[in-house]
Every structure is written in C-alpha cells, then in structure tokens.
Amino acid sequence: MKDLKQGRIAPRVAAVMLLFAAVCGCEKEPVASRQEAPAPRTLDPVYTQALHRVQTERRAIAAQRQKVVEQMEALVARARKALPPDATEEQVRKELLDNPRKYSGWRELSRMLREHNAKAEKDLEDARRLVAARIRQEQADFSKRGGSK
C-alpha cells in the first residue's frame, strides 16, 4: 500500500505492459515483402555507372571544345588587331571568312566547334532519357506495390 500511495507502482505496471505489447502484441512485416521493394536509382550500380560514363564523356567533349574555343579566340584577337578598334563582331567575322590564308583554320575550327556542340547536346539528351526512363520505372514499381505500402 505504501508503494501505491507514493506512485511507484504505476510506472512499473506501465513498463511491463509496454514490454508485453512490444513482444507479443505487434506483428512484424514479413521479410519477403521488404525485399520486393526496388532499390532507389541512386543505389543501382548499373544506373550510377551509366551516369558516370555520360559524365566522363561530357567532360572529354568539354575539354576538346575548350581547346577549339581557345584557338578560335586567338584567331579573333589577330583579326581584331587588323581592324579598327571600334570594329563590330560582324566585321571581325567577315575578316576571318574573307581571308582564309591569313586566318588559316577558322572554317575548320568553326566546323569542329559545331560538331562538339552537337555531340554535347546529344549526350545531354541521352542522359535525360536515361534518367526519365529510370524515374518511369520507379513509378511503375511503386504503383505495382500499391502506392505507399
């Protein structure tokens, strides 16, 4: 009676009941259903390797493109020296195109730049398709499992 009056029994009873409920009263989710859930795409090695490959290719293209741009900038600087200080971009472009011997390589560099830009755009579009396909796959898997189960 002394324990009951001092409030020492209630916490002990509550602890015993919680322990009993935790051990006996709660059912755990079967392990098999947890394994059915697909891995998030960030944990999928095939997906991450594909993205890494795309990223590596894009870096290589960017490095090649940068070399072309630097050569083109050098030719533009030479053309600007041959023109008046207030020459417009159009005048510089005309100078470069009209004097292929003086500015050898301008047309080839322009072509290479267009190719690098097109390749970079294609690789970016491929990466977008890869990500979109994986997101659609995840959504389909999520729907098959019944939403938020």
The predicted model scores a pTM of: 0.61
pLDDT value at residue 16: 66
Does some domain include residue 65?
Answer: yes
CB 60 within 8 A of CB 122: no
Query: Which segments of the chain have a pLDDT < 70?
Result: 1-11, 13-14, 16-39, 146-149
CB 117 within 8 A of CB 72: no
Does some domain include residue 46?
Answer: yes
pLDDT value at residue 130: 87
pLDDT value at residue 149: 47
pLDDT value at residue 141: 80
SS3 136: helix
Range of the domain at 53: 40-144
Does some domain include residue 12?
Answer: no
Q: Nearest Cα to 73, choosing from 112, 118, 109?
A: 109
pLDDT value at residue 69: 95
3-class DSSP string for 15-70: HHHHHHHHHHHCCCCCHHHHHHCCCCHHHCHHHHHHHHHHHHHHHHHHHHHHHHHH
Domain count, the chain: 1
